[in-house]
Structure 1
Amino acid sequence: MTPPPARGFSRRALLAAGGALLAAPALGACGADARAPGHLRVTYQQWGSARAVGDYIEGAAAEFMAARPGTSVEVVPLVAAENDFFTKNELMMASARTTPDIAYEDTFILKADIAAGYLRPLDDYVSRWPLWDTYVDVAKDAVTGEDGKVYGIPGPTDTRGIWYHRGVLAAAGIAAPFRPRTWDDLLTAARAIRDRVADVVPLVLYSGKAQGEKASMQGLQMLFNGTDSVLYDEATRRWTTGAAGMRESLGFLHTVFGEGLGPPLQAALDPNLTETVYTSWMPEGRVGMVVDGNWIAQNWDPGASGVWPEWSRTMDLARMPTRRGQGRGFVTLSGGWAWSLPRLAPDPDLAWGLLETLMSTENALRWTVAEAKLANRSDVMEHPGYDGYSPASPFFTDLVPFADYRPATAPYPQISSAIQAATEDVMTGRLGPDAAADAYDAALVDIVGVEQTAPEVRA
């Protein structure tokens, strides 16, 4: 039976209407009509030409098949931009004919998929898995549903900061090391780059619907969490309307795009912007600052599409400042992905066996290093292969204890879409910051209901 669509989530209607039909092309000639005994299917997101995740899965799958003769593992890369990947994954999980046995889930969408009935709880499995206790508590929390059950096995985590090009900032007359303390410091540096260095994008701060969750997490929330507002009040379990921080954050984006401090609009609205930034603009010195995460160094490793041996001597890192330097003075967000077992898959016990292999200590380490991510479990942190594996890892690892997380509620993906729409309205000039914030508030109330919101109380 196909899980019922969740109320209000527009993608769910599409899934209910045509999930099996639309998912089938992703399987090509793999024989989706019948699942042979011992055959498992794993889906994951294929980012452009990057091969780190695919190589990791295929290596673990080969190990699993060698240990269990008669089994086979079909690795299905879903080549898609972020939002399209989530839709494709859900289309497949909505049908017993096309569902993967193990699915790759961004933790921000996990609770929406739990609420839609797509995922199987894993408590009986993790209670017998010794490595479950090696995870830090925040990683476990990220894959726990509102019913208190576990629905995913976390992959490695991440944090975010400002990557900056030493040569570009030097040419703009900005002293090293770059240590912005306020948003004004960031804007001052961006204006100096614009005025003094030709043919360089001063600042990349992801915005707009084409950038998907990057626009919400690496864009708006890296600003918003540096204000005095909150998106969601954990104590009252209500979403904030009329937040001053929303207007301030959208105002910052209005300044960036209005003053020519960000990417040209055509590039900013391109869903492939990140690949352009990582493999072209950064290595070629065509961007000054990029607000992004620790994992992007994988794009410059030997064998990657944008091999760049000099990156560690060319790029440097700074913390993202709060609006006025208030509080602890900086902000970062953590997230991550997890492996889940879809509810409609026919052999969860066999799938769990593969999942144990995928997340063994050695394979988890291999994944972490290959994707330039951060460990969130003690066995990997203590492994000699993890210590100092990347020049950037100490900076980003130091941020982990201070990281904020996105609101862990089922409606968050819809609210994230409303955030993306607000950023696009501002960056394109369709709405000013106040009007875009009002539109976000209206969308918020429509998504969760007025009883689940509360106006911000200002001193």
Structure 2
Amino acid sequence: MQNTLSSRVTTRAFKAVLGASLAGALLVSALPSASAATGSVGGVCTKVGDKAKVGKINVICKAVSGKKIWTDTKVYKVSISANAILGGKNNQTATWIQNYVIPQFELSNAEKGKLVDVSFTPAGIDDNQFKTQLALDLASKRGPDVMALDGFWVAEFAEAGYIKPLESVVGAKAVTAWDGWAQIPASVQGVMSYNGKKYGVPQGTDGRIIYFNKKLFADAGLPANWQPKSWADILTAAKAIKTKTPTINPLQLNAGDGMGEATAMQGFLNLLGGAGSLIYDTKTKKWTGNTKAVRDMLGFYDSVYNKDKVGNSDWQLLAGENGRNESFKAFSEGKLAMIIEGDYLWRGVINPVSGNFKMADRNTNVGFAMIPAQTPKSGVNGQSFMSMSGGSGYALNPNSRDKNVAWDLLKFINAKEPVSSFMAIGGAVRISQRQDVNSSVLKSDPCLKFVFENAIPNTFFRPANVNYNAVSVLLQKATTSIVQ
């Protein structure tokens, strides 16, 4: 009896000790150190290399920015793509992504206990080639997690199912909660929207103006503060340059389907609006066809390239971007007097620091003028001046393996500090998507200040309609028939 009682007591004691030991072991497994007990992923730990579990997440103690952080051992991979390459096309964008976005986004996540590996797929090819490659990737459910898109591709990509509204990818609650929307005007948000849905975040917008070479103008007896009030004024100036400086190309007005969408944005859409019509009537839902406005617009092209011969037809007939590049080169070398272009010309192409066609005297020798309507007040809404705005942005791949990390990257590149960093590269500021950045940056740049104050108030956007591209190509071909 005594042995039995003793045995029972011993057994109970053993079970109690065993139970306590198991509980202690479980506690140690879950909370291997005091520091793990007080935090979670991103919390403070004490010894680099310690391992633990936070819930179901394996963590390791890592040194980050002078602190010891419990870090998720899983590595989250995310990719970003743009038609940009170091030392080549859109060098500013490539430099920003590789030297700022990737290291800073990875660091910001590391400080929260998250290991993120960002990869960049650069390109430096014709825009249409980039678009085609991106479409092929997305159609096969591949491609980058975050991708740069021209705003006028959004409707086409959305209709094809290549991209989806942000709320469908990461949820309406996450999209609505982002505080960055408050800094992006609704009109600018429209750059990456379609049918009332946000498909991405715009990187900014732009405007079209006439650039002119002040020295060449002076040689032709034209004023340094030249501002045409009609199409006739443009032709008068071009003819004066042709007469007094015959070796100089007077005017570049993009024409032909070889120039692609540049023919629309830098050319006929501005002229069409100046003649009192937009390419698409949102009220009647009809496209502009054989109207007086279209005939007048084509008539101006005919004057430039045939009647007055103040434009270089050869440039317009070159394939791809070659013709446009020839006009850029000529303007940067002082061999072209006037060019109708977006602010991309100023901040990118002829930038004396980072441009592909650097113009050493850009800051002192380039003048700006608004694009006039056909005659004063003949433009859409009775306007006397016209501009077209486009822009680009970044969208999410709906097939991304980790959509939340991709969304975090999209938010990050559109936050105030990263956008400001982009502006600082190579001195090439631009009209950004964010009002808080524009208010401090644009005042230091004479061209962008001019565009923001003069072109943007008179601007229009291309219609967010899936058929726009087809209609645009038809008008491009109409101008081709004029310059051939």
TM-score with structure 1 length normalisation?
0.80
SS at match of 1:64: helix
For 2:314 and 2:326, the matched residues in 1 are separated by 14
Q: Cα deviation per residue 1:257-306 (whole Å; 9 max; x = unaligned)?
A: 1132112414652422333333x322321001000112222332324333
The 8 Å contact of residues 206 and 268 in structure 1, kept in 2 or not, is answered as no
Residues 402-432 of structure 1: CA distance to partner in whole angstroms, max 9, x if unpaired? 211111111112222222212112211xxxx
- CA shift, 1:37, in A, is 6.2
Which runs of 5 or more structure 1 residues have no equivalent in the other structure? 1-35, 429-459
* Residue 369 of structure 2, aligned match among 305, 313, 318: 318
Q: Percent identity over the alignment?
A: 26
CA deviation map 1:61-115 (0-9, x unaligned): 221122335322221123222222221221121122x311011111111111111
Equivalent of 1:377, from 434, 441, 445?
A: 434
Question: Within 2, Cα distance between the matches of 1:355 and 1:376?
Answer: 13
- Aligned position for 1:120: 164
Distance 1:81 1:239, change over 3 A: same
Partner of 2:394: 339
| 1:179-328 map, 5 Å | 179-258=227-306, 259-266=308-315, 268-270=317-319, 271-278=321-328, 280-297=329-346, 298-299=348-349, 300-326=351-377, 327-328=382-383
Q: Which position in structure 1 is the counterpart of 2:84?
A: 46
Shift of 1:388: 2.1
Letter in 2 for 1:316: G
Whether the 8 Å contact between 1:95 and 1:344 is mirrored in structure 2 is no
Give the equivalent residue in structure 2 for 1:167: 215
Paired letter, 2:409: L
- Tell me the SS of whatever aligns to 1:156: coil
> Is the contact between residue 368 and residue 374 of structure 1 (CA under 8 Å) also seen in structure 2?
no
Aligned CA distance change for structure 1 residues 268 and 167 (closer, same or farther; 3 Å): farther
In structure 2, what is the Cα distance between the partners aligned to 1:121 and 1:185?
Answer: 45
Decide whether aligned partners of structure 1 residues 421 and 369 sit closer, same or farther in structure 2, where only a CA change above 3 A counts: farther
Q: Note the C-alpha offset of 1:323.
A: 0.6
Aligned to 1:144: 193
Following TM superposition, by how much is the alpha carbon of 1:181 offset from its aligned partner in structure 2, in angstroms?
0.8
Q: Which amino acid aligns with 1:337?
A: S
Amino acid at match of 2:366: M
| Superposition deviation, residue 159 in structure 1 | 0.6
Letter in 1 for 2:445: S
Aligned to 2:422: 367
Alignment match, 1:402: 458
Counterpart in the other structure of 1:433: none
Cα separation, 2, equivalents of 1:57 and 1:243: 46
Counterparts of 1:199 and 1:63, CA distance in 2: 50
State the shift of 1:201 in Å: 1.1
What is the CA-CA distance between 1:356 and the residue it aligns to? Answer: 1.6
Over alpha carbons, which structure has the higher Rg?
2
Counterpart of 2:139 in structure 1 is 94
| Kept in 2: contact 1:256–1:262 (CA 8 A) | yes
Which residue is 1:64 aligned to?
Answer: 105
Root-mean-square deviation (CA, aligned residues, Å) is 2.0
Residue 156 of structure 1 contacts residue 368 of structure 1 at CA under 8 Å; is this kept in 2?
A: no
- Give the Cα–Cα distance (whole angstroms) in 2 for the partners of residues 60 and 417 of structure 1: 36
Equivalent residues of 1:82, 1:211 under 8 A apart: no
Partner SS, residue 422 of structure 1: helix
Q: State how far apart, in whole Å, the 2-side matches of 1:387 and 1:220 are.
A: 28
Report SS of the residue matched to 2:311.
Answer: coil
Report the counterpart of residue 3 of structure 2 in structure 1.
Answer: none
What is the CA-CA distance between 1:361 and the residue it aligns to?
0.4
Contact 1:82 1:213 in 2 (8 A): no
1:55 equivalent in alignment to 2:114: no
Paired AA for residue 92 in structure 2: A
Aligned to 1:157, what secondary structure does the other structure show? coil
The alignment covers a number of residue pairs equal to: 388
Tell me the equivalent position of 1:75: 120
Give 1:163 deviation, angstroms: 0.2
CA distance in 2, matches of 1:294, 1:62: 29
Q: Is the 8 A contact 2:249 2:337 kept in 1?
A: yes
Higher relative contact order (CA 8 A, sep 6+): 1
> Residue type matched to 1:396 in 2?
V
Name the CA distance, whole Å, in 2 between partners of 1:110 and 1:172. 44
Aligned partners of 1:109 and 1:412 also within 8 Å = no
Displacement of 1:182 after TM fit?
Answer: 0.7
Aligned twin of 1:392: 447
